[in-house]
Amino acid sequence: MDWVAVENIEKDVLTELKVPFICSVIEKPREGKVCFFAESYLPLLLEKGCILPEDSYIREETDLSHKYMLRCKISVPAQREEKKEEDEYKVLFYDSVNINTIPSEIKARFLGYTKSIASIIGKNIKIGIPHKSKKNAPKSSPTNLFYIFIWSQIEENDIPATVVTPRTMWGYTTSCMDPSFSPSDKGIPIITTENYCVAEVFENALYIHYDICHKDVCTADMIYKKILEEFVNIYKMDSSSKEKYLKEVEIIKRNKTMLDFVNFIGEKNKERIAFYEKLLQEAARIIEDHQREIVCQLGKRGDTEVTLSALKSRLSSFSENSKDEYEKTAKINKVAEIQCKSDHIEIFTKDIYIDEKDISGKNNVIYYIGKFVISIYLDGRIRFFNKTNQGMGPGLTLPKGFNGNISYNRHHPHVNADGIACLGNLSSVIPKYIANCNISVLVTLLIKFLETAYVEDGAGAGIYWWPVVDKKE
């Protein structure tokens, strides 16, 4: 029985297909370790799209008995023959996912669209379907080989597939709503007209972030074709055009974030209006059902009507005011990013430092506290979470001369392990700022709080658990 090794076939592919193999070191036709498998498995690898037809390879003897090397003809320029333009570059499916789940006519169009761009970019293309798995294009791949990964993301990115897939892409309805991957921000994004990052372009690979092959039997090929069209546009860009394109993408991202911010504030205020409207109706019902409480309920109704009227009168201008408030908050020196969650706003800070006395109480030093996420809830709750440089903690050797509280706070000298802070007089004004949507003023005060420590009390003395730095970065 003869054993063969095929160029660019990695052992993980053989393992996935349950093809038995052995790794051996050869000296010819090239030096190195290769994976040999029984020649009888070649039809299986061809069926799964892992290799080209056998006539695309040169069969070469190795220095091992009954073991041969199959080397792709297209990688040997001297033996390359003149071919028709449509046959110049190869496109094939590979990986262990059953591609037969895609209707044959859809599969044929996928291959046709891909082959049309293969000649444009001047490379052979392999289409892989990791199916919600992260994937890296092999670093040892030939320069004339390009990969397309469907429902995937680069392995270097640790963000899972949790993005809600939009209902439409370029106006085409998507029927598969399985969660998609978010962009890694390491490649060049492909953005739909719905401002959704559907894919990312790298030097040797295209990563499509959603499950285009699963259910989209009616529109999958049209969306796939559009993705490839956008990919070609990006691929053909010079460095100046790519820079301009990335700036445009950043503007789109910022506008979406601002829209999310405005919508968040608007929706929460609509909820408040709905709450007071319901309360008003309940007051009217109680007046009818409980005559003995009529005076009390009438007073309650009057107060509610005033609040409702005030909220409604402000609603028309609220959108524009929210935009201004977002811009003010984003321009605060220590603010790095703003995100809106389902029930609160998250403010991501830059590095926070505190200027204070050292343990001796004589010298002013700079303590590096870290980067924070400030969570602002509309019910008045504030939470602080140190994301980069939490305090060292008890159980370690106490600093010489330190007589403070050793039950330190992990996030900040005045913030406990649950993110709850001792805000002092600031606590009384927080609800007012939130109710009036004065987020920028509130954030300024909260960052000022993080830049302060009162070393005279036991909690503030916990600042000695943080490192001293020469200067602020």
d(CA 298, CA 276): 15
Banded model confidence at residue 164, pLDDT cuts 50, 70, 90: confident
Between 398 and 376, name the one with better pLDDT: 376
pLDDT of residue 317: 62
Q: Do 86 and 223 share a structural domain?
A: yes
> Other C-beta atoms within 10 Å of 174: how many?
21
d(CA 92, CA 133): 20
Q: Mean of the pLDDT values across residues 276-285?
A: 86
Q: Do 314 and 298 share a structural domain?
A: yes
Burial 225-255 (b: 16+ CB within 10 A, else e): bbbbebbeebbebeeeeeeebeeebeeebee
Tell me if the pTM is above 0.75: no
Q: Do 226 and 86 share a structural domain?
A: yes
Q: Do 193 and 74 share a structural domain?
A: no
Does the pLDDT of residue 3 top 50, yes or no? yes
d(CA 30, CA 27): 6
Q: Mean of the pLDDT values across residues 256-271?
A: 84
Q: Return all residues near 83 (Cβ < 8 A) that are at least 6 apart.
A: none
Q: Do 62 and 89 share a structural domain?
A: no
**pLDDT tens by residue, 58-85:** 888 888 888 888 876 643 333 333 334 4
Tokens 């090397």 belong to 69
pLDDT of residue 295: 64
Residue 46 lies in a domain: yes
Boundaries of domain holding 316: 260-327
Q: Do 213 and 315 share a structural domain?
A: no
Domain count of the fold of the chain:
4
Q: Do 443 and 301 share a structural domain?
A: no
Residue 344 lies in a domain: yes
Residue 456 lies in a domain: yes
pLDDT of residue 27: 83
Residue 242 lies in a domain: no
Q: Do 350 and 316 share a structural domain?
A: no
Kindly report which listed range (127-141, 332-346, 375-389) carries the lowest average pLDDT score.
127-141
Q: Do 11 and 94 share a structural domain?
A: no
pLDDT of residue 465: 80
> Other C-beta atoms within 10 Å of 49: how many?
17
Residue 2 lies in a domain: yes
**CA contacts within 13 A on the Cβ side of 385:** 9
State which of 284, 310, 327 marks the end of a domain: 327
State which of 50, 81, 112 marks the end of a domain: 81
Kindly report which listed range (87-91, 164-168, 291-295) carries the lowest average pLDDT score.
87-91
**pLDDT tens by residue, 408-459:** 567 898 998 889 998 888 888 898 888 888 899 999 999 999 999 888 777 7
pLDDT of residue 450: 94
Q: Return all residues near 58 (Cβ < 8 A) that are at least 6 apart.
A: 70, 71, 72, 73, 76, 79
Q: Return all residues near 43 (Cβ < 8 A) that are at least 6 apart.
A: none
Banded model confidence at residue 200, pLDDT cuts 50, 70, 90: very high
**pLDDT tens by residue, 39-53:** 888 888 777 667 777
Q: Mean of the pLDDT values across residues 215-220?
A: 62
Residue 125 lies in a domain: yes
Does the pLDDT of residue 362 top 90, yes or no? no
Banded model confidence at residue 374, pLDDT cuts 50, 70, 90: very high
Between 57 and 217, name the one with better pLDDT: 57
Does the pLDDT of residue 109 top 80, yes or no? no
Helices 294-330 & 439-450 angle (0-180, nearest 10): 70
Q: Return all residues near 160 (Cβ < 8 A) that are at least 6 apart.
A: 181
Does the pLDDT of residue 54 top 50, yes or no? yes
Does the pLDDT of residue 240 top 70, yes or no? yes
Q: Mean of the pLDDT values across residues 334-338?
A: 95
Does the pLDDT of residue 206 top 50, yes or no? yes
User: Do the beta carbons of residue 112 and residue 91 sit within 8 Å?
Assistant: no
Most confidently modeled of 116-130, 191-205, 355-369?
191-205
Does the pLDDT of residue 199 top 90, yes or no? yes
Residue 250 lies in a domain: no
Banded model confidence at residue 350, pLDDT cuts 50, 70, 90: very high
User: Do the beta carbons of residue 35 and residue 13 sit within 8 Å?
Assistant: no
The 3 state secondary structure assigned to the chain is CCEEEECCCCHHHHHHCCCCEEEEEECCCCCEEEEEEEHHHHHHHHHCCCCCCHHHEEEEECCCCCEEEEEEHHHCHHHCCCCCHHHCCCEEEECCCCHHHCCHHHHHHHHHHHHHHHHHHCCEEEEECCCCCCCCCCCCCCCCEEEEEECCCCCCCCCCCCECCCCEECCEECCCCCCECCCCCCCEEEECCCCCEEEEECCCEEEECCCCCCCCCCCHHHHHHHHHHHHHHHHCCCHHHHHHHHHHHHHHHHHHHHHHHHHHHHHHHHHHHHHHHHHHHHHHHHHHHCHHHHHHHHHHHHHHHHHHHHHHHHHHHHHHHHHHHHHHHHCCCCEEEEEECCCEEEEEECCEEEEEECCCCCCEEEEEEECEEEEEECCCCEEEEECCCCCCCCCCCCCCCCCCCCCCCCCECCECCCCCECCHHHHHCHHHHHHCCCHHHHHHHHHHHHCCCCCCCCCHHHHHHCCEECCCC
Q: Do 422 and 439 share a structural domain?
A: yes
pLDDT of residue 393: 53
Residues of the chain with pLDDT > 90, as a percent, come to: 17
Q: Do 29 and 165 share a structural domain?
A: no
**pLDDT tens by residue, 166-177:** 889 988 888 778
Q: Do 345 and 445 share a structural domain?
A: yes
Between 335 and 99, name the one with better pLDDT: 335
Q: Mean of the pLDDT values across residues 90-117?
A: 67
Q: Mean of the pLDDT values across residues 289-309?
A: 70
Residue 59 lies in a domain: yes
Does the pLDDT of residue 7 top 80, yes or no? no
pLDDT of residue 294: 65
Does the pLDDT of residue 368 top 80, yes or no? yes
State which of 293, 327, 361 marks the end of a domain: 327
Most confidently modeled of 1-15, 215-229, 267-281?
267-281
Mean pLDDT for all residues in the chain: 80
pLDDT of residue 389: 85
Between 425 and 347, name the one with better pLDDT: 347
